[in-house]
Amino acid sequence: MAAEYSFGVFTDILASAKYIYPEGHHQQHPLGDVRRLSSLIRTQNIAQKDIHGNTPLHLAVMMGHKECAHLLLAHNAPVKVKNGQGWSPLAEAISYGDRQMITALLRKLKQQSRETVEDKRPKLLNALKELGDFYLEFHWDFQSWVPLLSRILPSDACKIYKQGINIRLDTTLIDFSDMKCQRGDLSFIFNGEAVPSQAFVVLDNEQKVYQRIHHEESEIETEEEVDILMSSDVYSATLSTKSITFSRAQTGWLFREDKTERVGNFLADFYSVNGLVLESRKRREHLSEEDILRNKAIMESLSKGGNIEQNYEPVRRQSLTAPSPNMISWEEYINAENGKAPHLGRELVCKESKKNFKAIVAMSQDFPLGIESLLNVLEVIAPFKHFNKLREFVQMKLPPGFPVKLDIPVFPTITATVTFQEFRYDEFEDSIFNIPNEYKEDPSRFPDL
């Protein structure tokens, strides 16, 4: 019975998450019912999720229904969407191991990200225009409870200049992701008046070169990224803020009182953040024993201050043998308890961990900039992962005021403290938003940007 009620017509999820198969419908479609999917796409919402948080694209990818997946992608099905377990269709494609599918999803993900940025652009430029011109300085300090790591973790001072619809960010930290940190003396310049492909430029002030940030990637870059994805753990981290509460931080041993102190130039009320949980999951069912050992050696080398470039040269990866066909019926799948979806695709090898964070946030009523305005500025510089984390955190429902100091869990082992130390409305020379004449263009200076 289970085999007969295969997921061949899994696409009925488009019509309704509670769809019950018609009596006597016993035909099996090993590659998914593409014709039926094609007719449903015209009238249904292909971004709809089922009870387990899976979209039709998730299901097509997990079950190796390639034609269905390509059809959904052709109709712009969202790729940056997570199911109830925190996995995107791209994560499921890496697990399944079909190289062509991973490449197609990666390309569509990047295209959709570019389109999202372009869609937001007019609103963003308007918001910047209405905001006064200012100078803002804030500091990052990274800490870890892992002894070796805390020695090599960076700190960074960021300076933001905003004039009209132009923004300049000066920083010494290029990127901080996957335990890899790059240093430098950099300036990112966003010119709101330029055409999108010319709007963003990064200056390397030490080498006196600049690079325009284009979002289109070459064929070789995409292929290399696929190699890296296929040979690394699939990682999902979610900061659970459901049960979060804020309580006034106290000071004093004998007579306890609410803690209020100056942060930079601003008087701030300190709050403890309770119930902040970082849930992280790592999957490696697609990796060989050799991959696992090599990845472990890279991490050990990095934690001792090594450099990733010396360790790792991606090797061209072939598609994996497809997992055994799925024998779960639609009823078994859709009626499974919420949060306990039967797994489709390759057998899961997953390690989960939860870490409770003790965080502090200092809110100031004196700060002249509103959170909404800060979010608009961060939106412009969000391609850099640590700013993205800051943006996510600031979007939480915070106590009244502006967060002049806050702790952000960046990884399970690393927390960053961000301190806004200076803000003033100001005017600047136009030249600080221009590329200096003596700088030469180097299109490959920052391959990761």
What residue spans define the domains of the chain? 7-110+327-345, 131-241+352-441
269, containing H or E segment = strand 266-283
Provide the 8-state DSSP code for 53: S
Q: Residue 199: CB partners within 8 Å, gap ≥ 6? A: 190, 191, 192
CA angle, 105 as apex, 101 and 110 as ends, to 5°? 150
Q: Minimal CA–CA distance to 413: which of 139, 147, 141?
A: 147
Q: What is the pLDDT of residue 117?
A: 80
- Strands, E assignment, 365-429: 402-411, 414-425
Whole-model pTM above 0.85?
no
Q: Does domain 131-241+352-441 have CATH number 2.50.20?
A: yes
**Separation CA 215–CA 245 (nearest Å):** 39
**Separation CA 107–CA 146 (nearest Å):** 36
Q: What is the pLDDT of residue 289?
A: 93
Q: What is the pLDDT of residue 21?
A: 25
Is 293 exposed, middle or buried, given 0-12, 13-18 or 19+ CB atoms closer than 10 A? exposed
**Separation CA 188–CA 212 (nearest Å):** 10
Q: Which residues of the chain have pLDDT under 70?
A: 1-33, 146-154, 173-183, 214-217, 302-314, 381-386, 412, 447-449
The phi, psi pair for 384, rounded to 5°, reads -90, 125
Q: Minimal CA–CA distance to 402: which of 368, 360, 359?
A: 368
Q: What is the pLDDT of residue 343?
A: 82
The phi, psi pair for 7, rounded to 5°, reads -80, 15
Q: What is the pLDDT of residue 152?
A: 61
Q: What is the pLDDT of residue 18?
A: 29
273, containing H or E segment = strand 266-283
CATH code of 7-110+327-345, in short, is: 1.25.40.20
